[in-house]
Chain A
Amino acid sequence: MTLIPTLREKRRYLLFEIACSSASEPEAKQALYAGLLAFLGEHGVALANPKLIEYDAKTRRGILRCRRDAVEGVRQAVALISDVNARRARVDVIKVSGSIKKAVQ
C-alpha cells in the first residue's frame, strides 16, 4: 500500500566524493556509517535515516540518502570523516538534490 505524498518521508540525496588514494564500496560504507554514528549518535542516525544508495569505487563518488531536515547534520558528520580504512581521506559533498536523477546529472 502506498502513502499519499504529504505523508511520505521527504528525502535528500547527497552526491559525495571521497578524496583518498583508494576506497572500495564496503570501506566507504563503513567509513560513512561509522562517521555518522560517531557524530550524530544512535538517536540522530535514526532521525536522519541515512542510506548509501550508490557508490562507484572507480570515481570514488556516491549518493547518500537522508531525511530532508537532517541534511545539515549529515553534512557535518561527513565533513568530520578523516580516514577510510585507516587511510587519510576527506569526504566532499558536491551536491544536494531532491532526486537521484538530478543528483547524478
Chain B
Amino acid sequence: MFLANREKPAASQSVRGGRENFSVRYYDLHVCYEGGERDAAELGLKAVEFPLHGTEVLAEKERELAAGLKHAKPLVLVASGNNEVLRAAAKIKQVLMLRSERFEADVGLLRIAAERNKAFEVPLAMLIESHGWRRAAVLSRMRSFLRLCIKYKAAYVITSGARDAYGLRRPREMIALGEALGLSHAQAKWAITEAPSAVLENAQ
C-alpha cells in the first residue's frame, strides 16, 4: 500500500492548539514557472518546478500517454479529464501522480491508485483562479473526490499549481484551504508533508 510505514491521520486526530511544528518539512509538488522553487523556499516550502524537475503529461487518449512519457523526468504527473486514461496511467510504474481535471468520482480508479501507490494531485490554483459559481462547483467536486480518496485509502497531495509567485501559498494557508475541502487539520497537513515526501522518495 501507499506509504506503507506512514499512517494516515484519522479525521478526529488533532494537531491544532499550538504553533505549527517548524521542524516539519512542507512541500509543494507542482509549481509551473521559472524561479518557483526559490519563491516557494521563501514561504517555507520545498517545491518541485515543472518542467525543470518534473514532467506533466496532459493526455485525453491512451495513445498520447506513451508519447508523453518518453524522456520524462523522475517525477511524472499525468493529468486528464478522461478517467480511462487515468486508470491506464495508474498502472504505469513511472507515473507517480495523477490529476483528474474534472474531479469525477470513479471508484475503480481510486482503488487502482490506492493499490499501485499513486497520489492524486489537488491543485489550489483551480480554486484560487476561479470565482463565483465556478469556484463553488470546483470546491464541491474536490470535496466529494477527497471524501472518496479517504474512503478508499488513496493518497492525495495538495499543491499550489502556481503559474507565478502570486499563486503560491504559505503552508498554513494551504492547510486552511485543505480544511475548506473537507479535510481535518491533520489530514490537510499530511497532504503537504508526509504524502508529498513519499512521492519524492518514490521518484528517487
Contact = CB atoms under 8 A, between A and B. Distances in A.
Nearest to A80: B128
Contact of A90 (B132, B165, B177, B180): B165
B38 interface: no
Interface residues of B, number: 20
Nearest to B125: A82
A99 interface: no
Contact of A80 (B172, B177, B179): B177
Nearest to A78: B173
Contacts of B127: 80
B173 A79 contact: yes
B179 A93 contact: no
> Secondary structure of the A side of the interface?
mixed
Contacts, number: 43
Contacts of B129: 82
B54 to A, nearest CB: 23
Given A38-B132, A88-B164, A76 B170 contact: no
Interface residues of A, number: 15
Interface string B158-185: 0000001111111011001101100000
B102 interface: no
Given A38-B131, A38-B132, A79 B166 contact: no
Nearest to B163: A88
Contacts of B166: 19-20, 82, 88-90
Interface in B52-111: none
Contacts of B43: 92
**Ranked 4 nearest A-B pairs via Cβ:** A79-B173, A88-B166, A75-B176, A90-B166
